[in-house]
Amino acid sequence: MDSDMSRRVVAEFFGTLWLVLGGCGAAVLAAGFPGLGIGFLGVAFAFGLTVLTMAYAVGHISGGHFNPAVTLGLWSAGRCASKHVIPYIIAQVIGAIVAALVLWWIASGKPDWISGGFAANGYGDLSPGKYSLGSCFLTEVVMTFFFLFVIIGTTSKGAASGFAGIPIGLALTLIHLVSIPVTNTSVNPARSTGPALFAGGAYIGQLWLFWIGPIIGAVIAGLLARWMYETESIVGTVVVEERRVTS
């Protein structure tokens, strides 16, 4: 692996680690803390802030994907080189698992702590609002579609240069505000994988939805963007706009 790819992979690893540690950490450690709980509104902002902060920290190195669905969506839009797809996804999944491990160690230090769902995603009985499989699948497809639509639009030519991280972070916040009651919000297969491995059992059995749904939504958005922004699509390389910042 050359030095450029190594830097990209490390950036994706730490970016995804921070996203899962910050977002899921807010849910596990702070959302229901007696007297000081931040609630689901705080959790939604925590996820948005993780993306916003890491987009500016390492987005100029790797494009700041931190999400296998984002990587595949940008690839389908012609904005991510094929050679980056597999290394990025591997780094993202490992980063999410390491974050979940760190979070587990921290949370288990509280004597009366009960892991419960450990911020994992689910449908049916594992959905926070007990939403059906169909509702949860549609939610993940649609929310990821719009997440990619915002990412690609705000990093395109003509968009305000250097400010893409703000609407991208706010878009992820909004997505959580809408979909936490439905699926506990994934839109990110890596984010779902890390906590599910520690929540175990049925959460692992339902993990397939939180890979397939977000990837479908992301690829559809990428293909639409390829048509809308066709003059900017450069297959086999990373366009300047992506290097500015994507999430």
Q: What is the pLDDT along the chain (247 residues), one digit of tens a residue?
A: 799 999 999 999 999 999 999 999 999 999 877 667 789 999 999 999 999 999 999 999 999 999 999 999 999 999 999 999 999 999 999 999 999 999 999 999 999 888 889 999 999 999 999 999 999 999 999 999 999 999 999 998 877 778 999 999 999 999 999 999 999 999 999 999 999 999 999 999 999 999 999 999 999 999 999 888 865 544 333 333 444 444 4
What range defines the domain where residue 96 resides?
3-244
CATH number for the domain that contains residue 29:
1.20.1080.10
Helices (H), ranges, the chain: 3-25, 39-62, 68-76, 82-107, 133-154, 165-183, 189-199, 202-205, 209-228, 240-244
Number of domains in the chain: 1
Which residue, 9, 38, 74, is CA-closest to 223?
74
Residue 105: count of CB within 10 angstroms of its CB = 9
Which residue has tokens 């963007």? 225
Give SS3 for 165.
helix
pTM of the model: 0.91
Which pair of tokens denotes residue 236?
């086999």
**What pLDDT, on the 0 to 100 scale, is given for residue 115?**
84
